[in-house]
Amino acid sequence: MRLFPRSAFGQTVFLIGLLLLINQLVSYLSVAFYVIKPTTQQINHLIAKQIKVVFIDVGHQQLVLSRELTERFQLATGIEVHSEQQARLHGLNEAIYYAYFSDLMSRELGGEAEVRVAQGESYAFWVRPPQAPHYWVKVPLTGLDETDFSPLTFYLLMIGVLSVGGGWLFARQLNRPLKSLQQAALKVGRGDFPPPLPEHKGSTEIIAVTKAFNYMARGIQQLEQDRALLMAGVSHDLRTPLTRIRLASEMMSEQDSWIRDGIINDIEDMNAIIDQFIDYLRHHKEEPGQKENLNTLVQELVQSEHLQQRQIQVELATAMPDVVLRRIAMKRLLNNLLENALRYSDGNIEISTGFERNRKRVFLQMRDHGPGIPEYQMKSMFEPFTQGDRARGSGGSGLGLAIIKKIVDMHHGDITLHNHPQGGLVVTVYLPLR
């Protein structure tokens, strides 16, 4: 398990929190050694002096204190002197033993002493002095109350919360341009070109990266436009002579009909290849997305292919949710999938749909009964100009699956290929609900 976050935002917050923790520890140790420790030593010294006053006339002889003397001493100083039994009745058992104070008191009084601290409604020191080991001296500490430490605790807690909160806001503000940059890069990768990002937000390094990204996006957009214009010009210039060739072939005699038919077929194939080139360059970005039901598009596809001398088995899922789709692009995707299945197989075509509720996505699956695709070629089948004849023994421009992949990426979906255990290729298209 990784404790150190991987994102820049998490690392920044983690660093600020770690520095704050170190600062708090250093502050605590500094207060403990330079404030609390001298204060406790001073308190212990003053208490020891008061105890010495109580037993100022006591040597090594046995100490016997009268009740009248102890009461007069208590009224004068507030210090109580009790025997062992009396001390237990006055709260000695509830007091807590402190070895640190006991050691300090032993050094102050010149013998083994025991110190206990009572923390009830008021603080009090219980001391068993070496001068009178059978007696306990209770020294009240007025002005020390347990609730007096709550402002310090609240202050330290608020300092921690405000520091972490301020660090979180600082890191969030610092990383917000990076989030926008990430979203814009994903859009450019899908063929969409968002408006230029603001070039004044963030640190100087972020601003420099944003300017470089805007410059790169403009270059890619210009390259895309030039490529589309070039393809449009080439397709226009090619179709004109193809049309003239077809008209000339139509005027050939019936004796040369086999030549005429071959020329016409070649012209149709060339027109189809040109159309595929244009489809690959066209992203349908101008088409707005709208809510559609995938089952409806599949039914329209099957109805439009009823003239095919092939059986298409359809299994549509019930309660299929609507998905935001570009209708024309999605119909082109379905047509390309079906054309590939019809071209590379001779058996039936199976089409099914489904809804994965836990992953919030719908899917379309199409299976043919052809020879399939070798496993080592599947990853490269979505690359442009990958020839289908290397995979399944037929010709083509190699743009069919590349066009399908572009349309799927445009919808933030995913597409997979795998060979069915009983033969044939299975293509699965996943589309997220959002």
pLDDT digits (tens, 9 = 90+) for 18-45: 777 777 777 777 777 777 777 777 777 7
Same domain, 253 and 347: no
Asked whether residue 350 is assigned to any structural domain, the reply reads yes
Asked whether residue 274 is assigned to any structural domain, the reply reads yes
Same domain, 251 and 301: no
Query: Domain boundary at 144, 171, 191, which?
Result: 144
Asked whether residue 152 is assigned to any structural domain, the reply reads no
Kindly provide the b/e burial profile for residues 9-42, where b requires at least 16 CB atoms within 10 angstroms of the residue's own CB: beebbbebeeebeeeeeeeeeeeeeeeeeeeeee
Q: Would you state the pLDDT for residue 2? A: 58
Asked whether residue 1 is assigned to any structural domain, the reply reads no
Asked whether residue 48 is assigned to any structural domain, the reply reads yes
The alpha carbon of residue 375 and the mean position of all alpha carbons in its chain are separated, in whole angstroms, by 33
Same domain, 269 and 355: no
Query: How big is the CA angle at 324 (ends 318 and 329), to the nearest 5 degrees?
Result: 100
- In the chain, pLDDT over 70 holds for what percent of residues? 80
Locate 351 and state its tokens. 């089409």
Same domain, 296 and 326: yes
pLDDT at 434 over 70: yes
Q: Cβ-count burial of 260 within 10 angstroms (0-12 exposed, 13-18 middle, 19+ buried)? A: middle
Asked whether residue 153 is assigned to any structural domain, the reply reads no
**Torsion angle of C-alpha atoms 248, 253, 257, 263, degrees rounded to 10:** -10
Same domain, 238 and 198: yes
Same domain, 244 and 120: no
Q: Would you state the pLDDT for residue 147? A: 44
Locate 198 and state its tokens. 């603001």
Same domain, 370 and 327: yes
Same domain, 16 and 114: yes
Q: Which domain holds residue 261?
A: 183-282
Give the residues across from 354 on adjacent strands. 363
- Give the count of domains, the chain: 3
Query: Domain boundary at 282, 313, 331, which?
Result: 282
Same domain, 276 and 355: no
Asked whether residue 176 is assigned to any structural domain, the reply reads no
Q: If you average pLDDT over every residue of the chain, what do you get?
A: 77
pLDDT at 156 over 70: no
Q: Model confidence at 390, in pLDDT bands (50, 70, 90)?
A: very low
pLDDT at 261 over 60: yes
Same domain, 370 and 418: yes
CA distance 153 to 156: 5
